[in-house]
Structure 1
Amino acid sequence: MTETLPSLDDVRQSIDRLDGEIQTLISERARCAQQVAHIKLRESPETTVFYRPEREAQVLQKVMARNAGPLHPETMARLFREIMSACLALEHTLNIAFLGPNGTFTQTAAVKHFGHGVNTSPLATIDEVFREVAAGSADYGVVPVENSTEGMVSHTLDSFLNSNLRIIGEVELRIHHHLLVGEGTKTESISRIYSHQQSLAQCRQWLDANFPRAERVAVSSNAEAARRVNGEWHSAAIAGETAAEIYGLKQLHQRIEDNPNNTTRFLIIGREAVSASGTDKTSIIITAKNQPGALFTILEPFHRRGINLTRIESRPSKHDIWTYAFFIDFEGHQDDAAVQEVMAELEPRMREVKWLGSYPKAVL
């Protein structure tokens, strides 16, 4: 038997009815958010914390778990991310500092994590982001920490050595590079290509094959590359969609990165500790004594207790020559019993152990 489909008008009427119900529920949720703000201010007016990373991670995880389609779970979570962002803005509008200028992938990461209901402020260096958050001028900061192709961002790691800020979250962002040009630029006239040095490295094979004779000029950021191209008829920039939109450039070629899985991880830095969400990571810095087997001494207690290490990176210590600090990420929260047992075992063996924070794993 042939299925009888409803008329187009019937379907549109159903959509209009559902839109009204959705809008009513969103408004009801927003009023609940306002009540949350009043309760928080009443209970702790001097130390009110409006943004709770562990709570938001739990909500997004539940959204993805109960999603029944046809929308993809991540698409559904992104919709809720924006609803939550708008509702949080009714309680308190967050000020987010990020490594600028406007149009960088770091800004994209900030919006991905916090939604559009925040104020974002571009800063020139990673050091400035740390200083603004430490001083309270920004509620939180967003900085890059590692790329799947090019490795660690050493400047971010070094900034933690002299800072008391905590990591309160992480963002993983799939990086797509596009070749951008101004309206008057012709492909055959391109003799110079601007981009950040890491982006140039991530697109090296494509550039060798398509623009082998063009001069490659490294600049401070992809956004700066896009800004320069805006006034030059013979140049192009490698940058993302956000930079193209901000500076009014055309995408001459899309997704030119050599590795289609190219991903950058960003850290959210803040001043307060984060409670357990149930799916957490912890970051620490350990300065080991300069002796044989020092690295084994650090790693063995984690292995013995079944704690998975997700990253380990060494950097020269700023205090003693030929002494190294190890940046370690592992699964679990610092309040977990197994984690506390490991740290109790390590502290007397190490020169210094510094907690950078426990935080929810990236959800989106």
Structure 2
Amino acid sequence: MALKAAPVLVCCSNNKKDNPFAQPGFCFSDSGFKRSDFLNLRIHRVRECLAHSHRAITPVEDEIPSTPAVVEEQETQISLHRGFHKDLNSLPKPLSAADLSSSYSDGTNVRVAYQGVPGAYSEAAALKAYPKCETVPCDQFEAAFKAVELWLVDKAVLPIENSVGGSIHRNYDLLLRHRLHIVGEVQLVVNHCLLGLRGVRKEDLKRVLSHPQALDQCEKILNELGVTRVNAEDTAGAAQIVASERVRETGAVASARAAEIYGLDVLAQNIQDDSDNITRFLILAREPVIPGTDRPYKTSIVFTLEEGPGVLFKALAVFALRGLNLSKIESRPQKLRPLRVVDDSNMGSATYFDYLFYIDFEASMADSRAQNAMGHLQEFATFIRVLGCYPMDTVL
């Protein structure tokens, strides 16, 4: 089903001094959403991105301030896996109105970035969302975000939480640091396999490589085999190492597709301790989906709150009062201002951790209930931003 695009919807505090996250775009006020200089900013950013898109790119540190000189330095440092590079003529062309209204349900002519190497579970999620897409491997999550922003790819598919391992906090932080929008999600069943070189038995293995979470999720069988666990950056990368080093006593925990790609044998299938092992991935794009009221929608937001008794309860109550179901709540300490100092009449002053709250609720931003809830939330929040709004019947 086609995911249509629309202008960015951003809810924010109008006080830039108190709100380090304030961005030009659409702000939520008592009179509703209003447009500022978004179009001129987007045109400027697209021209700037295309001008620098031929440069090699590498991940950047969160702590680097976003001055013009540093931004240019960042763009020269971000790199895609294996030095992914295309000349300017092969880059995706700027989207037209016709492009935005066409259907990409099968992924034809769509380039999708993911973190890892071929055979990664993230690549499988990208192919589930867009079966005929061209997948583009990236060495870090940051590189996948940047690849979309620089128009090197059309979408990014990145993990956000696992039913066993929990939330991927790095991607929550990157959602706030970048201007991409959630336009869908993919749920992928993870079936870990034990891989080895041709002709090797699982009893012959003395060490097994994989991502730390994958090793933890297969603890039972690895304990039975008595093997040494070795951490790798990702599961498919572990399979790649085993295939390239050709050490018969070394195996990997990865997908069956990784075994096929790297010429390895599947020594055991479905070796995870918990059979219900599901990872949820977000689909990210430069343009948001146009919210409607014709079908169920899911909306993702992030906000911060003033310090005070019961403030979080009051913030969550704005959804309950309007019958809006919350499907996800996540909190992350603010990196720009981790501590808040609050005057206390008895103790002089007290310090508290300052948090960002990420919430998914089941309603469209075009729904009056959602708009009223956001207006009510503004009474307690110092900052609000809409991360995405998409139809729930497009969840794969």
TM-score (normalizing by structure 1): 0.74
Q: Do the aligned partners of residues 47 and 153 (structure 1) sit closer, same or farther apart at CA in structure 2, a change above 3 Å counting?
A: same
In structure 2, distance between residues paired with 1:290 and 1:204: 42
Map of 1:7 onto structure 2: none
Partner Cα distance (1:214, 1:146) in 2: 28
1:239 aligns with 2:270: no
Where do residues 113-192 of structure 1 align in structure 2 (5 Å cutoff)?
Answer: 113-116=129-132, 118-192=133-207
Conserved? CA contact 2:311–2:380, under 8 Å: no
Deviation at 1:332, TM superposition (A): 1.3
Of 117, 125, 130 in structure 2, the residue corresponding to residue 101 of structure 1 is 117
For the pair shown, the structure with the greater C-alpha radius of gyration is 1
TM-superposition CA deviations, 1:264-286 (whole Å, max 9, x none): 00000011121236132111101
Instruction: Determine the structure 1 residue equivalent to 2:348.
Output: none
Residues 153/246 of structure 1: CA separation in 2 closer, same or farther (3 Å cut): same
- Post-superposition Cα deviations, 1:198-247, rounded to whole Å, max 9, x if no partner, equal 11111112322x22x21011110001110111122001111112211111
Q: Quote the Cα distance in structure 2 between the aligned partners of 1:51 and 1:360.
A: 16
Distance 2:328 2:174 in 1: 18
Q: Secondary structure at the match of 1:156?
A: helix
Q: Does 1:283 align with 2:296?
A: no
**Equivalents in 2 of 1:49, 1:186: separation in Å?**
55
| Amino acid corresponding to residue 129 of structure 2 in structure 1 | H
Structure 1 CA distance for aligned equivalents of residues 112 and 287 of structure 2? 15
- 3-state SS in 1 of match to 2:385: strand
Change (3 A) 1:248 1:144: same
Match of 2:329 among 312, 315, 324: 312
Change (3 A) 1:126 1:340: same
- CA positional deviation for 1:349: 1.7
Q: Does 1:193 align with 2:213?
A: no
Instruction: For residue 50 of structure 1, report the CA deviation from its aligned partner.
Output: 3.4
SS in 2 for 1:50: helix
> Matched residues in 2 for 1:220 and 1:159: separation?
18
2:364 to 318, 322, 333: 333
CA contact 1:52–1:274 (8 Å) conserved in 2: no
**Aligned residue number for residue 226 of structure 1:** 239
2:17 is matched with none
1:359 to 2:374 alignment: no
Flag the structure with higher helix content: 1
Partner of 1:324: 355
Conserved? CA contact 2:157–2:284, under 8 Å: yes
Question: In structure 1, the residue corresponding to 2:97 is in which secondary structure?
Answer: coil
Gapped regions of structure 2 (runs ≥ 5): 1-93, 340-352
SS in 1 for 2:261: helix
Of 180-189 and 304-313, the range deviating more from structure 2:
180-189
Q: Kindly indicate whether the alpha-carbon contact (under 8 Å) linking 2:157 and 2:283 is maintained by their aligned counterparts in 1.
A: yes
Equivalent residue for 2:279, pick from 237, 254, 264: 264
1:112 equivalenced with 2:161 (yes/no): no
Whole-Å Cα distance in 1 between the matches of residues 254 and 217 of structure 2? 11
Pair 1:47–1:225, CA change in 2 (3 A): same
Instruction: Tell me which residue corresponds to 1:216.
Output: 229
Q: 1:256: how far off?
A: 0.7
Question: Counterparts of 2:333 and 2:176 in 1: how far apart (Å)?
Answer: 10
Q: Give runs of ≥4 in structure 1 deviating > 4 Å.
A: none
| Identical pairs, percent | 37
**AA at the equivalent of 2:175:** F
Structure 1 residues 214 and 164: alpha-carbon distance in aligned structure 2, compared to 1, 3 A threshold: same
Structure 1 residues 52 and 245: CA distance shift in structure 2, 3 A: farther
Per-residue Cα deviation, 1:153-181 (whole angstroms, up to 9, x for no partner): 00100101211110001000011101111
Letter in 2 for 1:252: L
Amino acid of the structure 1 residue aligned with 2:123 = Q
TM-score (norm 2): 0.69
Give the distance between the partners of 1:126 and 1:257, measured in 2 at CA.
Answer: 25
CA contact (8 A) 1:175 1:262 kept: yes
Matched, 1:301 2:318: yes
Is the partner of 2:308 in helix, strand or coil? coil
CA contact (8 A) 1:274 1:359 kept: yes
- Aligned residue for 2:158, secondary structure, equals strand
Residue 319 of structure 1 and its aligned partner are, at CA, apart by 2.1
Deviation readout 1:90-126 (Å, 9 max, x if unpaired)? xxx111111121110000000000112x111000111
SS at match of 1:97: strand
